[in-house]
Amino acid sequence: MILKRNGLLVLLTSLLFWTCTFISLDAFAERLVQGKIQYHANLWSRLQNGFALALPPDSKIVHRIGASYSQNPEFFNRIIANSERYLYYIVEEVERRGMPMEIALMPVVESTYNPLIKSNSQTAGLWQFQPETGRILGLAQNVWHDDRRDIIASTQAALDYLQYLYQKFDNWKLAIAAYNLGEGAVSKVLSRSIHKGRSGNFYDLNLPVDAKHYVYKLLAVKDIIVNSKKYGIQIRPIANRPYFDQIKIHEPIDISLVTRLANISEVEFSALNPAYNRYVIKVSDAPRTLLLPKNNKEIFLKNLETYQDPRVSWQFYRVKKGENINEIAARHRTTVMQLKTINGIARHKNVTLGQKILVPHDVTENQADNIARKKKQLQNYQSNVYVVKKGDTLYEIAKRYGTTVDQIKSWNDSDENLSIGQKLVIVKS
């Protein structure tokens, strides 16, 4: 009996001990998670946690390049400001693939994190792909869009290519140098060095100065991030959370309509969707990806769901023999200036035979007559333009202006559905 009691006491004591231990472990684990979240509240801390490339044995050149940035801190902080839209996504992808976090800083060197930067060497996008390299990596380039500038597509292609180069050279510094110089050129230098019994170490290879400087520049940017105080640069924090959301577009849509329905500026749209070359997002066999600020995705989807008018107001037209831009503009009820602006035609240039240009969608005769009649009617009246706000209804707007719902619908060729930002003509007699 005593043995049984003693055994029971031991069991109870053990249970109590392990219960307290588990509670302590849970609390400890929770503190660890909270500490990790707090540690990575700033995206730069997350980057530093993933840095893996050592500085060279003699790091004077790295410090010298870093000092050139410190002499112009405004320029460096402009680059940081450019990166705010894209850096979280790239960090996520680099981390997911188990790559050194220095890779996320390569667009600093390539494009100053500006996907719309123009280069004399025909390179484009955050990762500055040449046209041929882009095509090899599956980045489509046509009159509608250039995927070398697409944030998602170009980042995936760049990281795929860098992983391929790492598998080839088994060294990240050589892989990064090959991204800049070309894998063939780096392979030749490496083979020549090994054939002569010399070291295959990146710092010992007789690589071109530009290729080595490219890697040193990347390491200098990394050193500034780690030791910003040493360089006298105050790096603005970036929140460790997504900046944008992805949306699949299955039907063509005007870019101006996207900005209106999403309630964003054209500048913001272009920064997130720099791949699009025209005023229309063209959708062929596969859907296109649209990026919107995280807070604007639901606004766009809600407004798109209730939007009933045509989503595309432009179409392609091929110039016929003997036609000039004045005749085309008149036929499509637009102006020469508008056609030239939309198609990027220089002020003193004309169109050429077979050239494809964007023109307004054809308007039927009945539609044209209705438009002309309504314009003539409105000339005899004063009119206000009301911009639809969240929660507005046609009934409330009609009541506010002392008119009827049917009258507002007649003036605007609209139905009951409203979208935020929509402009309504309100006529006063």
| Both structure tokens of 131 | 């046209």
Please report which confidence band the pLDDT of residue 385 belongs to, taking 50, 70 and 90 as the band edges. Answer: confident
Say yes or no to pLDDT of 366 above 50. no
Residue 102 designated active-site: no
Catalytic site residue from 84, 95, 102, 110: 110
Tell me which residue has tokens 């992805």: 246
Q: How many residues does the chain have?
A: 429
| Both structure tokens of 307 | 């939007």
At 247 the three-state DSSP class reads: strand
| Each residue's pLDDT tens digit, 140-199 | 998 889 999 999 999 999 999 999 999 999 999 999 999 999 999 999 999 998 888 888
Say yes or no to pLDDT of 304 above 80. yes
* 106 closest CA partner among 168, 42, 165: 165
Mean pLDDT for 344-364 is 79
First to last CA, the chain: 104
